[in-house]
C-alpha cells in the first residue's frame, strides 16, 4: 500500500500555506498520494479516527518568538503513537531567527514515533512588516527557496524508497550559535503576551464590520458591540492587517525598528536551508 503524505500546517499570514502548497504540488508531480490539513480556525486540529496507520507527516509552522506556534505543538502531542511513521518539519521565518523551531518540532515528532527524514527553514517576508518599504525577507520565498524545497522532496522520497532507514539526525537541527540558542530558549509567546497589554479596538474608529473576526486564524475575536479579543490571541496581527478602518492601534515604524534591531543582532544566515 502506498505511503500517504499528510501536510499539516498553520499559516496566519499565508506564507506557510504557500510552502505547504508547493510541497503538495511537488509530491503529487512525483506520483505521491497527498492530503492537507490547515490548522487555522475551522480546520481539523485533532487527528481523526481515519488517520493513516503509517504516513509521512509534513508539519509546518511560522516561527513565533523563536518557536513553533503552540497550536502546532498541541496538534503533534495529540498524534497517535508508535505508528512507524515518518516526518518532515518545516518552518517559515522572517529574517530574525528561526530559533529552536525545527529542533523542537523534530524532537516532539520523534517522541510520538514519527521519525524525521528531513526538515526545512524557509526565509519569508516578516509578517509584522507588511507596511515596511523594505521588509526583512522581502520577496521570499522565491525561485531559489523553492529549488531547495524540491531537493528536500527528492531526498525524502529516496529515503522512503529505501525503507526510511536513514533518519535525519535531530542534532543537525541544533544549528544556532550558543548565544542565539540561549536567547531563544528564554523566549515564548506566553511571555510576550504577559508583557504587553491585551490588544483592544479603538471603538470610535470601529465600524463593527466583522472583518477582523473572519480573519483571526484561531477564532480569538468575538463580536459584541465591538470586537473583543480573548486570551487565545497569538499576536499574529491579522486583525490589524485586515481592519479597513485602521481601528486597531499599531505603530508600524516602532515595530519595524525593533525587528530590524533584533535581526542585526542575530548571527543566523538569512537564507532558506534544508536538512536531510
Domain with residue 208: its CATH number is 3.30.70.20
> Would you tell me how many other CB atoms lie within 10 Å of the CB of residue 269?
9
Pair (224, 173) in one structural domain: no
Reply yes or no on whether the pLDDT at 44 is more than 60: no
Instruction: Give the model's pLDDT for residue 203.
Output: 95
Compare 196 and 102 and report the one with higher pLDDT: 102
Alpha-carbon torsion 96, 72, 172, 15, what sign? negative
Query: Does 268 map to a domain?
Result: no
Q: Which three cell numbers stand for residue 250?
A: 499599531
What is the domain count for the chain?
2
Q: Give the global pTM.
A: 0.94
Query: Does 196 map to a domain?
Result: no
Pair (243, 107) in one structural domain: no
Provide, for the chain, the percentages of residues in helix, strand and coil under a 3-state DSSP scheme, each rounded to the nearest 5: 35, 20, 45
Query: Does 257 map to a domain?
Result: no
At a CB cut-off of 8 Å and minimum separation 6, what does 266 contact? 96, 97, 180
**Can you tell me the distance from the alpha carbon of 210 to that of 68, in angstroms, rounded to the nearest whole number?**
28
**For the chain, percent of residues with pLDDT exceeding 90:** 90
Pair (115, 224) in one structural domain: no
Instruction: Give the model's pLDDT for residue 47.
Output: 66
Query: Does 176 map to a domain?
Result: yes
Reply yes or no on whether the pLDDT at 114 is more than 90: yes
Pair (138, 13) in one structural domain: yes
Query: Does 274 map to a domain?
Result: no
Q: Which residue has the cell 520565498?
A: 141
Model pLDDT for residues 138-182, shown as the tens digit of each residue? 999 999 999 999 999 999 999 999 999 899 999 999 999 999 999
Instruction: Give the model's pLDDT for residue 198.
Output: 85
* Main-chain dihedrals φ then ψ at residue 155, nearest 5 degrees: -65, -40
At a CB cut-off of 8 Å and minimum separation 6, what does 105 contact? 59, 61, 68, 72, 73, 76, 89, 91, 119
Pair (113, 211) in one structural domain: no
Give CA separation, 142 vs 15, 47, 246, in Å: 11, 32, 30
* Main-chain dihedrals φ then ψ at residue 170, nearest 5 degrees: -60, -30
Q: Which three cell numbers stand for residue 188?
A: 515564548
Q: Which range of residues forms the domain containing residue 10?
A: 4-180
Query: Does 114 map to a domain?
Result: yes
Pair (166, 208) in one structural domain: no
Query: Does 273 map to a domain?
Result: no
Q: How would residue 82 be classed by pLDDT, with cut points 50, 70 and 90?
A: confident
- For residue 230, give the DSSP letter: -
Q: How would residue 46 be classed by pLDDT, with cut points 50, 70 and 90?
A: low
Mean pLDDT score of the chain: 94
**Can you tell me the distance from the alpha carbon of 15 to that of 17, in angstroms, rounded to the nearest whole number?**
5
Reply yes or no on whether the pLDDT at 6 is more than 90: yes
Give the relative orientation of helices 101-111 and 70-77 as an angle to the nearest 10 degrees.
20
**Can you tell me the distance from the alpha carbon of 15 to that of 141, in angstroms, rounded to the nearest whole number?**
8
Average pLDDT over residues 123-147: 97
**For the chain, percent of residues with pLDDT exceeding 70:** 96
List residues bridging with 228 in a β-sheet: 222
Model pLDDT for residues 177-195, shown as the tens digit of each residue? 999 999 999 999 999 999 9
Average pLDDT over residues 267-274: 98
**Can you tell me the distance from the alpha carbon of 203 to that of 150, in angstroms, rounded to the nearest whole number?**
48
Amino acid at each position: 500500500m502506498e505511503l500517504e503524505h499528510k501536510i499539516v500546517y498553520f499559516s496566519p499570514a499565508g506564507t506557510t500555506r504557500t510552502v505547504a502548497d508547493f510541497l503538495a504540488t511537488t509530491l503529487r508531480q512525483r506520483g505521491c498520494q497527498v492530503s492537507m490539513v490547515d490548522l487555522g480556525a475551522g480546520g481539523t486540529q485533532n487527528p481523526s479516527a481515519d488517520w493513516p496507520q503509517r504516513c509521512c507527516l509534513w508539519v509546518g509552522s511560522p516561527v513565533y518568538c523563536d518557536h513553533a506556534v503552540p497550536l502546532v505543538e498541541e496538534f503533534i502531542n495529540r498524534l497517535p503513537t508508535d505508528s512507524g511513521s515518518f516526518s518532515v518539519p518545516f518552518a517559515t521565518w522572517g529574517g530574525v531567527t528561526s530559533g529552536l523551531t525545527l529542533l523542537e518540532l523534530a524532537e516532539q515528532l520523534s517522541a510520538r514515533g514519527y521519525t524525521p527524514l528531513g526538515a526545512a527553514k524557509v526565509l519569508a517576508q516578516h509578517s509584522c512588516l507588511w507596511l515596511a518599504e523594505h521588509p526583512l525577507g522581502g520577496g521570499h520565498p522565491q525561485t531559489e527557496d523553492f529549488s531547495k524545497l524540491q531537493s528536500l522532496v527528492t531526498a525524502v522520497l529516496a529515503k522512503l524508497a529505501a525503507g526510511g532507514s536513514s533518519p535525519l539526525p535531530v542534532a543537525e537541527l541544533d544549528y544556532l550559535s550558543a548565544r542565539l540558542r540561549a536567547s531563544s530558549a528564554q523566549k515564548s509567546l506566553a511571555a510576550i503576551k504577559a508583557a504587553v497589554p491585551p490588544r483592544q479596538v479603538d471603538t470610535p474608529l470601529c465600524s463593527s464590520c466583522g472583518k477582523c473576526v473572519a480573519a483571526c486564524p484561531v477564532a480569538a475575536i468575538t463580536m459584541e458591540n465591538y470586537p473583543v479579543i480573548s486570551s487565545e490571541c497569538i499576536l499574529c496581527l491579522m486583525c490589524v492587517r485586515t481592519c479597513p478602518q485602521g481601528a486597531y492601534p499599531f505603530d508600524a515604524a516602532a515595530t519595524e525598528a525593533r525587528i530590524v534591531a533584533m535581526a542585526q543582532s542575530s548571527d543566523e544566515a538569512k537564507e532558506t536551508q534544508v536538512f536531510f
